[in-house]
A and B are shown apart, each in its own frame.
Chain A
Amino acid sequence: MTDAASSQHNQAKREFLTFTLGEEEYAIDILTVQEIRGYNAVTRIANTPDYIKGVINMRGVIVPVVDMRLKFHLGNATYDEFTVMIILNLGQRVVGMVVDAVSDVVALSADDIRPAPDFGATFDTQYLLGLASVAERMAIVVDIEKLMSSQDMGLVDQLSSEAV
């Protein structure tokens, strides 16, 4: 890639959906978002981690739901008519993700996203694209596809667990 092309690429803005978990603001690529809906009719699945809330019926397709507040111990995991669920479409998989609130859609260029410092244990930096400032606030830009397909989330069959 030539320098000119690369700088042009950096200038191109992509849209991100921001949502809050407790005090923190997160951003994900809007192209991975299929829809946003209320939290209801979740069927619990036994013997799974507590942050996997269960499965829902998305127009005939069985889709798992994870509560990010429980997964990352942020905010209050309460369920009422204001609880929202972001339905993500990650290539082959559809996953529902419960968050505190959906905030905004922002356009960010690659230059706006700064590399993230190492946070420690809560949020592995390998799932982060970086940090961005959005209207005086800081948003953590997450590589949601990588996160959801990771072993940490326990949403996909792992070869190791399969062998047991």
Chain B
Amino acid sequence: MSIDLSQFHQVFIDEAYEHLDAMEQLLLAIDIEHPNLDDLNAIFRAAHSIKGGSGTFGFSNIADLTHALESLLDKLRKETLPITHEMVSAFLACGDLLKLMLEAHQDGGDLDEQRVTDMKTLLLSLGEEASILEDSATHTPTQSPVTTYRIRLHPDSDIFSGPASFEALVADLSRLGTLILIADQGAGRYEWTLTGSVVLQDLLDTFAFICQDYEVTITEEPAVVEDEGFGFFMDLPEPSSASDADFGFFVDESELPASQASEDSGFGFFVDETELPAVKQAQQETEQGFGFFVPESELPKQAASIKESPAAVAPVPVSAPRKSKQADASKAHAETSIRVGVEKVDQLINLVGELVITRSMLAQSVSELDPVHFETIHKGLVNLERNSRDLQEAVMSIRMLPINFVFGRFPRVVRDLTQKMSKKVRLKLVGEETELDKGLIEKLADPLTHLLRNSIDHGIEIPEVRRAAGKPEEGTITLSASHQGGSILVQITDDGAGLDREKLIAKAREKGLPLSDNPTDKEVWQLIFAPGFSTAKEVTDVSGRGVGMDVVQRNISEMKGQVEIESAQGVGTTIGLRLPLTLAILDGMILRVADEVFVLPLTRILESFQPDSSQMKSVAGQGRVVQMRGEYLPLVELHKLLGIQPQYMRPEEGILVVVETTQDKVALFVDELIAQQQVVIKSLETHFRKVDGLSGATIMGDGRVALILDIDRLARMHSTFQAHS
């Protein structure tokens, strides 16, 4: 009997996609001149994980390709090869191909095997090309020299829960070289020496599985130091320092046997300036090897030359400490998350909603009880209210994801588009951590991609034009997200040409679109949302067909959001998307007509007032209007539209709510405003159908259903109603 592995295929495929996305992000962020070794390792790990998984599940073509990818990446991370632009492009293309292959496995579709072979050949040739270069350079060895490391393991707690894991570790280490146990200090503390042709990274990788980075110290023993390490520092004046610089990561521990600093420097990142004076020397050496934090006053001349040499001679890993900490943080984050189906979360939200309703029903009954005799019940209810509110917030937050989930794909889009159009564009992401509802994030991807394409195609000028206009050749597009009150503002700002007012007006006249004689900027900008409107001189495969902005606007208003445009010719354009925080919760105004209760989205309400009879006017054929500060607003009587016998027939007795529709402002006549309240939006369509004038329903504190009004539809119903009567 064999285990049916196919049940795990989806898990592997999901994970593989995640790894590929992570890989792509790292590749896009990589600095070719000074690649971050951590990043290279992370990319390598991603490729390695995919290879491992695909091998296990029998996706041999994926395993083959990732093997080729991994081999090349391995050379990069061991620094036997410098990374090049061609490689990054090849890796990205390879990532795309792997995604296609995954899709093919998932859907059982066909795959162009030739592309796979080509990609494999490309990866291999990139690896070889560079090794030929290397050979001619002679100094760079393809194999690591024999080195002796001193390994000191000092975990916070005894990490070897059973003898098995300790033996496994010893076995792993023995495979790398000759292992000699020096000291067993108990509680999981050991010291070894290891001699063999090993690179430090392999050792670190071995320990990565069993303990935290800081819990192990690996240093190079001076006795067998090979100055030629990587051959970069041959002609430096002081060979022993040079050997330290080999990897730029560690110092000679033999000089400072018990120093804390050397421990830190094992990774080279966390150099603590407040160390004891006794270890100062060690610090300096670390700093030298690394090229950072050099206290100039203390630095001997020789050391200075060492410090400069690595940067000048070869791509020694130079990375900012801050960045690597970030990488650690995101890695830790990935490890502590679990994958849960959305329907489970939604069910949880429903159940919590039920709990809240049950609580308010209880509260209603309890309020009739004598507080003196039932004090504990009252107290308990207060606690229950607080707890259920906290619970509701916590559950809602599960649905919230950082907007980075959609922003994350754009560096790639920009890279591809700018290469295609030979423009230079830098993409700046701001506020990627801003959280919003998962449902919104998914729906935001398409409109944002479209706007970004527009900005690159129409907004940013070609480098020559930009130079002539006195702007930097490289254009900047900023994608930003921020919370503003109860909504989220996502903005795309470019420093391109801006919208051309005259051209837009001319085009609108040509197309016969209605436009006043002296339109405001806002009116002119609105033109770009008209279907089929494009001012592009030629249609590219990127944009210019004039389909799009109307779709963007429709998508955004489906999300109950708004699109705002600001533009100045020659300076740039900002397109802002204002969205509600979540699709699941609505800030509502509860109102009443007769004994029926409705919810009106608070964001649409401008004001409410009780008119006097002098403000009410009748317009022949157009029903009644109400005069408010010189404006005439059509009077929409909710009771007429919904066929209710209202408490008040005259607006002077009830209340008017001024609401903003997509077209205009209207005054909605209702009997009474009850309260402002957050409500959980429920769909009517799940078990029923769409009803004109309603956008959904919600459940009130007493367990009854209240309907949520769709203001735009109501306004339209009002116009047809007027036309018929």
Contacts and interface: CB of A to CB of B under 8 A. Distances in A.
Interface of A: 41, 43-48, 54-57, 59-64, 93-95, 154-157
Contacts of A46: 641-644, 691, 693
B400 interface: no
B684 interface: yes
Given A62-B682, A62-B684, A157-B690, 10 more contacts: A43-B697, A43-B704, A43-B705, A55-B705, A56-B705, A61-B682, A61-B686, A61-B687, A62-B687, A62-B697
Nearest to B353: A60
Contacts of A54: 705
22 contacts: A41-B703, A41-B704, A43-B697, A43-B704, A43-B705, A46-B693, A47-B692, A48-B691, A56-B705, A57-B699, A57-B703, A57-B704, A59-B354, A60-B353, A60-B682, A61-B686, A62-B683, A62-B687, A62-B699, A95-B687, A156-B689, A157-B685
A154 to B, nearest CB: 8
B390 interface: no
Q: Which of A54, A55, A62, A64 has its CB near the most chain B CB atoms (within 10 A)?
A: A62
Contact of B687 (A41, A43, A45, A63): A63
Interface string B688-713: 11111110010100011111000000
Contacts of A61: 350, 682, 686-687
Interface residues of B, number: 30
Contacts of B182: none
A61 B641 CA distance: 26
A54 B697 CA distance: 11
B596 interface: yes
**A60, A94, A95: residue with the most chain B Cβ atoms closer than 10 Å:** A60
Contacts of A64: 687-688
A41 B705 CA distance: 8
Contacts of A60: 350-351, 353-354, 357, 682, 699
B684 A55 contact: yes
A156 B685 CA distance: 8
Nearest to B697: A62
Interface in B343-381: 350-351, 353-354, 357
A55 B699 contact: no
A60 B694 CA distance: 18
B707 A45 contact: yes
A115 B686 CA distance: 34
Nearest to A45: B691
Nearest to B641: A46
Contacts of B706: 43
Contacts of A62: 682-684, 686-688, 697, 699, 705
Nearest to A65: B688
A57 B685 CA distance: 14
Interface string B658-697: 0000000000000000000000001111111111111001
Q: Considering residues B357, B684, B705, which has the most beta carbons from chain A within 10 angstroms of its beta carbon?
A: B705
A59 B685 CA distance: 16
Contacts of B690: 157
Nearest to A52: B688
A59 B686 CA distance: 14
Contacts of B685: 157
Contacts, number: 72
Contact of A43 (B641, B643, B644, B707): B707
Interface of B: 350-351, 353-354, 357, 596, 641-644, 682-694, 697, 699, 703-707
Nearest to A154: B689
Contacts of A95: 687
A62 B698 CA distance: 8
A77 B23 CA distance: 66
B687 A94 contact: yes
Nearest to A55: B705
A56 B689 CA distance: 14
A8 to B, nearest CB: 34
A63 B690 CA distance: 13
A61 B699 CA distance: 9
B643 A47 contact: yes
A54 B682 CA distance: 15
Contacts of A41: 703-705
A57 B694 CA distance: 17
A14 to B, nearest CB: 25
B684 A47 contact: no
Contact of A57 (B688, B691, B705): B705
Contacts of B694: 45
B592 to A, nearest CB: 13
A46 B638 CA distance: 11
Contact of B689 (A59, A63, A157): A157
Contacts of B683: 62
A47 B699 contact: no
Contacts of B357: 57, 60
Nearest to A94: B687
A157 to B, nearest CB: 4
A64 B687 CA distance: 7
Nearest to A157: B689
Contacts of A45: 691, 694, 707
Contacts of A156: 689
A44 B688 contact: no
A54 B704 CA distance: 11
A163 B548 CA distance: 22
Contacts of B684: 55, 62
B295 to A, nearest CB: 65
A8 B61 CA distance: 52
Nearest to B692: A47
A145 to B, nearest CB: 14
A154 B692 CA distance: 13
B189 to A, nearest CB: 56
Which interface residue of B353, B688, B699, B707 has the most chain A CB atoms within 10 A? B688
A128 B251 CA distance: 88
Contacts of B596: 43-44
A128 B85 CA distance: 72
Given A62-B682, A62-B683, A155 B705 contact: no
A55 B708 CA distance: 13
A154 B641 CA distance: 20
A3 to B, nearest CB: 38
Nearest to B642: A46
Contacts of B707: 43, 45
Contacts of A47: 642-643, 691-693
A48 B691 CA distance: 8
Nearest to A46: B642
Contacts of B351: 60
A57 B706 CA distance: 10
A6 B682 CA distance: 45
Contacts of B643: 46-47
Interchain residue pairs A-B with the least CB separation, the first 3: A46-B642, A43-B705, A64-B688
Contacts of B699: 57, 60, 62
Most buried by A among B353, B690, B703: B703
Contacts of B693: 46-47
A25 B485 CA distance: 59
Contacts of B354: 59-60
A162 B691 CA distance: 11
Nearest to B699: A57
A81 B562 CA distance: 48
A55 B597 CA distance: 13
